[in-house]
Structures are given as C-alpha cells and as structure tokens.
Structure 1
Amino acid sequence: SPSKNLLQTIQCLYALHAIDEQSHLKADLGMKVAELLLHSTHARALIISSEYGCTQEILKIIPSLQVKHVFLNPPNERMHATKLHVKFACQEENLITVLNVINAFEQQIMPQQFCDK
C-alpha cells in the first residue's frame, strides 16, 4: 500500500541520517541526498565516500548496480567463461568482483576484445 511504502521510505531516510525525528531533511547530508538523482542509499554512499577515500570506487560501483549481470555466459562457452570470470572473483563481496572487472576493463588497450572474452 502507498502508506506502507511511504513509511518504509521515511524509515530508510532516517536510518541514512538524511532526515531528523520530525522527518525534516537534515541541512548537511539530507539536502545533498535529495539533490542527487540517485537511490537514497547510493546517494549517501557517494556523499560520504570522500571521508573514506573511496569516491572513485563508489562512482564505478553505483552504475554497475543498474545492470543485472556484468558477465556474459554464452551457452556454448560456459566453462571457458567461468574460468575467465574467476580471475576477478572476490569471495567476500560481489561488488568488489564488479569493481575488479571495471578496473581491469579500464586498463585494457583493446577494451572490445576484453569484453568479447
């Protein structure tokens, strides 16, 4: 229901420290989150990333969240594709795997060939 969705949104914004107890936008973080055309959790991550020195990484990860898969698994080459994908895998977190792929892509002289592999 709309009221349930609204309540969940308010709770999320409060948990992100974007609003106060009266549901008013906080002047610092809340206003910045509202100005960005991103999901509130992504906006907050981007805003506070500078405090942790990881803004470039967050700028790479957020767009990757808009796609379902960064890897292709062609049916006739699934085993080969899996072997190539393992090079980027990080057991702790899928987003780190995605970041590893993006970083490897950026280092390629021939990015189309990298993507085709």
Structure 2
Amino acid sequence: MKIRYVLLSTVLCLVFAASYIARPTAAQGAPKRIEVTASKFKYEPSEVTVKKGEPVVIVLKSTDVAHGIKFKELNLQAKVDKGGTGELAFTPDKTGDYVGHCSVFCGAGHGSMTLTLHVTE
C-alpha cells in the first residue's frame, strides 16, 4: 500500500511538473504604435520615449511634402510621400537618446528637422 502511495505521489508530481514546464508562454503584446506628424520643418511630437525590448511602430504622417526619418545610430529609416503615411517598425535593443533627422530634402529648414527617441529600461 505504501509503495502505491509513493508511486501515485511521484506520478502526480511528474504530471504537475510537466504541465508547468509545457505551459505556453504568453505571446508578446502588440507593438506600441506612436503617431508622428511631419510637416515643414518639424515632427509633432518632437520627442518620443519607448522601452528597450518592447516592439514599437512609429506611424509617420506627412501633411505637406515628402518627408522621411533616419536614425543613423540605430540603422532605422522610413520615408513617406506627400500627404501619405509610412511605418517604421522596430524593437529597440539598447538604451539611450537618439536623434533622427529628416531623410528627404523638404526645403530651407530641412537641416533642423529632428525627432528625439528616448529608449529607457
């Protein structure tokens, strides 16, 4: 009788352990979507904060002419046509502050058109 109890206990423990180990991990949530509007010669908002390791989609909209965004340090780039929308999907893998510049010449103030991306823990 004692052996049956020990065997039953062992089997139950193994079943419990197997079900715990085999439990599917929660799917990572949908990417955080951040809308950024580009117009001569600014981005609105001009600063965005995201978390390291969390998927992000920057939805870039143009209100006037073609624009783009390029974060050289992160090797990220997107372009959007006049009046259009583009998306820049990424998962930041390092913290820091990164400055993106308009990557499509849009006029005399083009050089001052920047978007700051803050990546935090």
More strand by share: 2
Establish whether TM, by shorter chain, passes 0.5.
no
Structure with the larger RCO, 1 or 2 (CA within 8 Å, 6+ apart): 2
Task: Give me the TM-score of the superposition, normalised by structure 1.
Answer: 0.25
- Greater helix proportion: 1
TM-score w.r.t. the length of structure 2 is 0.25
